[in-house]
Amino acid sequence: MSASSTKLHNPGPSWGFRFLLWADRWWPAWAFRLTMAVGTWIALSQMPRQRRASRDYLAVVLNRPPRLLEIHRHFSAFMDFLMLNLRAGAGAEMRCTLEAENAHAFETLTKSNQPSLFGTFHFGSSDLLGYLLSECDQRVSILRLQVGNSEDTRLLGARFGDKVSFLWVNDPHQLLFALKGAIEAGRSVALKCDRVEHSARTAPFLFLGKRRLFPFTIYHLAAIFNLPVIFCLAIPGTEAGRIRVFSSALFTPDPQASRAANLSAAQVHFQEVLALLESLVRRHPYLWFNFLPLNPEVA
C-alpha cells in the first residue's frame, strides 16, 4: 500500500468493518439492528459535509426540503448497503437477476470473452456487480481509490482471486499504463462515472433537471482501445441476497469513423444511460450514495 493511500480512509475507526462483520455474526438480530440505528444517528451528527450533501441532493430529487428523518433514511440505506457488501465479501451468496431490457446485449457481450468497459455509478448495489461479472466468467479490473481501511475490497479480492482485481486511481499518471496492461492481458475494466474529481475528461449532460458535468473518460478509453462500453446499475431485490441488475444498451466505437464522430455518438449513448439512472434515482431516491455535492451545473 502506498504512503499516499494510507492518508486516505473511510469514515470510522480502522477496525470498524471487521467489528460490524463480527457483530452481525454473533449478536442477536435485534441488538445488531439497534446498534446500526444508533450508529447511523452518530454518523449523521459527525459528518456535516455528507449531511449537507444529502440534504441538498434530497431537496432536488424530492422537490422540497427534506426532513431530518429523510436524511437519516438516506444514511441508513447506505449502512444497509455497506452490510450487504461486507456479507457478500465474507462469503454470503449473491444472486443477480438481469432485467429483460438490454439483457441480450449484456449477455452476448459477457459471453464473448472480449475485453470491455463496464460503467456504473454510486447507486444502489452497483458495487456488487463484480459478482455478476465473475458469474459470467469475466476477468475484470475495477478502478477504485485505494484507502487505508477498505475491508470490502480486501474481502472481494480474497473471494474471487484473479477474476476480480483492482486498479488504483490514486496516481493518475500511472493509471493509463495500468489500464493498457490490464486490457492487453485480456481483462475487462469496470469504473464509476459520476464523480468528476478523479476524471481527466468531463462533459455536460442533462441530469435531475440541470446540465451537469459528468466523467466522460470511459468513452475516450473506448476510442483509444477500440472497446465496447456498457453500463449496469443494481438495486437490492425483495429477497435477501438478491440483486436486480439494469443494463444499458451497448455502445461500440466505429473503427472506420473519426474520433470526433465516435465521441459524438458516445454523448448520445451516455445521455441515455443517465436517463436510465435518473429514472431509478427518482424511484429509489435513498439509493444514491454519492454523498458529495451534486455534479457541477453548467450553462
User: What φ, ψ does residue 184 adopt, rounded to 5°?
Assistant: -65, -25
CA–CA dist 139, 117 (Å, integer): 12
Residue 169, judged by CB atoms within 10 A of its CB (0-12, 13-18, 19+), counts as middle
Closest by CA position to 216, among listed 158, 280, 295? 295
Tally of residues, the chain = 299
18-44 per-position pLDDT tens digit? 888 888 888 999 999 998 999 899 989
* 76 within domain boundaries: yes
* 12 within domain boundaries: yes
CA–CA dist 221, 251 (Å, integer): 12
* 299 within domain boundaries: no
Degrees to nearest 5, angle at CA 198 with 245 and 180:
80
* 256 within domain boundaries: yes
CA–CA dist 293, 193 (Å, integer): 15
pTM of the model as a whole: 0.86
CA–CA dist 195, 290 (Å, integer): 8
Closest by CA position to 143, among listed 129, 161, 159? 129
Domain residues for the domain of 34 are 3-287
Number of independent structural domains in the chain: 1
State the CB neighbour count (10 A cutoff) for residue 91. Answer: 10
* 130 within domain boundaries: yes
CA–CA dist 180, 177 (Å, integer): 5
* 292 within domain boundaries: no
CA–CA dist 216, 34 (Å, integer): 41
For the segment 163-179, the average pLDDT, to the nearest whole number, is 72
Residue 15 has pLDDT above 90, yes or no: no
* 109 within domain boundaries: yes
* 297 within domain boundaries: no
Q: Is 186 left (phi over 0), alpha (psi -120 to 50) or beta?
A: left
Give the position of cell 457541477. Answer: 296
Residue 14 has pLDDT above 50, yes or no: yes
Higher pLDDT, 297 or 168: 297
Asked if residues 229 and 212 have their Cβ atoms less than 8 Å apart, the reply is no
Residue 70 has pLDDT above 80, yes or no: yes
For the segment 158-176, the average pLDDT, to the nearest whole number, is 68
**pLDDT band of 182, cuts 50, 70, 90:** confident
Q: What percent of the chain has pLDDT over 70?
A: 85
CA–CA dist 89, 71 (Å, integer): 27
Q: Is 9 left (phi over 0), alpha (psi -120 to 50) or beta?
A: beta
Higher pLDDT, 250 or 17: 250
- Which residues face 242 on adjacent strands? 95
106-161 per-position pLDDT tens digit? 888 888 878 899 999 999 988 777 667 766 767 888 877 665 545 555 555 555 66
Which cell is 92 given? 454470503
Residue 298 has pLDDT above 60, yes or no: yes
200-243 per-position pLDDT tens digit? 789 999 999 999 999 999 999 999 999 999 999 999 887 776 88
